[in-house]
Amino acid sequence: MLGVEDHKFCLAQRPMKKVFRTRVYPITHVVGGKKVVVNYRGYFTLEENGTRTWKALGTPSRETAQARIRELALLAQRVQDGELPPDSQRETAAKSTAQLLTAYKKYLAGQGRAQKHVHDTTARLGRMAREIDWRSVNEVRPDRFESWQSGLTCSAKTKKEYQVSACAFLNWLVNTGRLAANPLTKLEKIETRGKQVRESRSYSQEEFANLLGVAGVYGLGYQFLLYTACRWSEAYSVVWGDLFLDQEDPFVLFREGTTKDKDRRRVDLVAELASELLAVRPVTFAPTDRPFKGRLASYDLFRKHLVRAGIEHKDPLGRVAHLHSLRKTWQTWGAGNGVNQRAAQAVLGHSDANLTARVYTDVAALGMRAEMAKVPWVLPAGSAKAQWEAQKSGIPRPALSLTVIVGQLVEAIKAAGSEQLSHLMSLGDISGHTGKLGAGAGFEPATFRL
């Protein structure tokens, strides 16, 4: 081996007086029968007997190689002491935000994220980079982001999505060693509860029937969205292999990678929907073929269907009808027809029962007047109307004494007028009348007295 150089340096200015060692080795080739040094490589250690870090030095000069390995060792020492960021972070700081977003887009696509998710996320990040002037990640500051976010005129949900996208991007840089810390991690998230700009509503049965009447081949897509309570993206991802239509109890299986919560979900199919799907299933088909290709309406086409069906997109209360409203419709119709809460939660794929009950149930469409009428109205005890209502309802009431009955009769006569009362009292044989009245009512004459 030619000219091995070994150097030892003591950094006395450092508190712990760390020692690093460097060494270089020549790389030779045989040229014209002679060994010629064409390059040098070397290593350094930051502690006595520490781990060796090898580097290609890119020079045939021994002196230059020695100088370069010392520079690299000193640089690594400063990084270790926290005086400089690591190489990966310095490289990241030197890149433009656009270059990093391109790499992040490839990462998301490689993770199997939906195309729409990748597009929307990178579009948000691109807008923030332009409008906040993020030319590099070193220029990302929480105060500037918060100022920009507060100036947005969109909904609270959209503002939150911008923050979530920014934090996800910065966390990716941190996790890959390209950024020391996420500068936005301590910002509070936007509160979205009670601040929905476009509250949705459910469809009435008449409205849904009208929608199917104008939808043509897209009607099956609407029926599947409603009667499985799935999301549009979940329906789009369904293949024939996910539909078990030949079972005694047919069902659809939404795969892990296609659901919002990344969890597999089974939903039983009503007989009518299963029959509709069997009717359009080809005799020969591949399990990976999509049954709803050409049968799921886009948002623009859906809006046209609403117009043709005479369905208002926004009602007088400002609530809108959109594709996602079909999930709310299923829950609302189910609640009105006795579907229990736990079953509804499983169908909708909710981990929070409150979300099912509070957000996905359209209370206005449940017929709350009829529900309120189920609570009995309590009348004053002893009133004639209360007895009449009790007789109509079949609810047993305690028997009234003869004295109470006669008292009520007198009160009724008084209410009818003094002339009628005088006429009754002037009857000659009132005891006879009362005797007949008592006998007719099933009481002993002797006990019946006015």
Helix (H, G, I), strand (E, B) or coil at 9: strand
Report d(CA 19, CA 74) in Å as an integer.
Answer: 11
Given a contact cutoff of 8 angstroms between Cβ atoms, the answer to whether 180 and 174 are in contact is yes
Listing DSSP states for 172-225 in one string gives HHHHTTS-S--TTTTSPPPP-TT--SS-B-PPPHHHHHHHHHHHGGGHHHHHHH
Read off the tokens for 353.
Answer: 């029962």
The letter for the amino acid at 288 is T
Beta partners for 352? none
**What is the tens place of the pLDDT at every residue in 126-162?**
999 999 999 988 889 999 999 999 998 888 888 899 9
Read off the tokens for 228.
Answer: 């499985």
The sheet that has 265-268: what strands, in order across it?
243-244, 251-254, 265-268
For the entire predicted model, the pTM comes to: 0.48
What's the CATH class of domain 205-365? Answer: mainly alpha
The full 3-state SS of 220-237, as one line of letters, equals: HHHHHHHHHCCCHHHHHH
Report d(CA 35, CA 1) in Å as an integer.
Answer: 11
Helix (H, G, I), strand (E, B) or coil at 321: coil
Picking from 83, 325, 366, 285, the residue whose alpha carbon sits closest to that of residue 203 is: 325
| H/E segment holding residue 285 | none
| H/E segment holding residue 344 | helix 341-348
188 φ/ψ angles, rounded to the nearest 5 degrees: -75, 145
Helix (H, G, I), strand (E, B) or coil at 44: strand
The pLDDT value given to residue 125: 95
What's the CATH class of domain 93-175? Answer: mainly alpha
The letter for the amino acid at 46 is L
The pLDDT value given to residue 7: 57
Report d(CA 380, CA 385) in Å as an integer.
Answer: 9
Place of tokens 């709350």: 368
Q: What is the DSSP letter of 140?
A: -
The pLDDT value given to residue 354: 56
Report d(CA 315, CA 209) in Å as an integer.
Answer: 18
Listing DSSP states for 290-301 in one string gives -TTTTTS--HHH
Tens digit of pLDDT at every position of the chain (450 positions): 444 555 555 544 444 445 568 899 999 998 888 889 999 999 988 887 788 889 899 999 999 999 998 888 888 887 777 665 667 777 888 889 999 999 999 999 998 887 888 999 999 999 999 999 999 888 899 999 999 999 988 888 888 999 999 999 999 999 988 888 899 988 888 776 655 556 788 888 888 899 989 999 999 999 999 888 888 888 999 999 999 999 888 888 888 778 776 678 888 888 888 999 999 999 999 999 999 999 999 989 999 999 999 998 888 888 888 888 888 888 888 877 777 777 777 777 765 555 444 444 544 544 544 544 444 444 444 555 555 555 555 545 445 556 656 666 666 666 655 555 555 555 444 444 444 444 444 444 444 343
Cα angle 323-328-333, degrees, rounded to a multiple of 5: 120
CA 370 to chain centroid, in Å, comes to: 32
The sheet that has 19-31: what strands, in order across it?
5-10, 19-31, 34-45, 53-56
Report d(CA 124, CA 102) in Å as an integer.
Answer: 13
Picking from 270, 326, 273, 328, the residue whose alpha carbon sits closest to that of residue 297 is: 326
List alpha helices for 95-178, DSSP H.
Answer: 97-110, 115-131, 142-150, 156-175
| H/E segment holding residue 249 | none
CA 275 to chain centroid, in Å, comes to: 31
Beta partners for 25? 41
Angle between helices 115-131 and 156-175 (to 10 degrees): 90
Given a contact cutoff of 8 angstroms between Cβ atoms, the answer to whether 69 and 58 are in contact is no
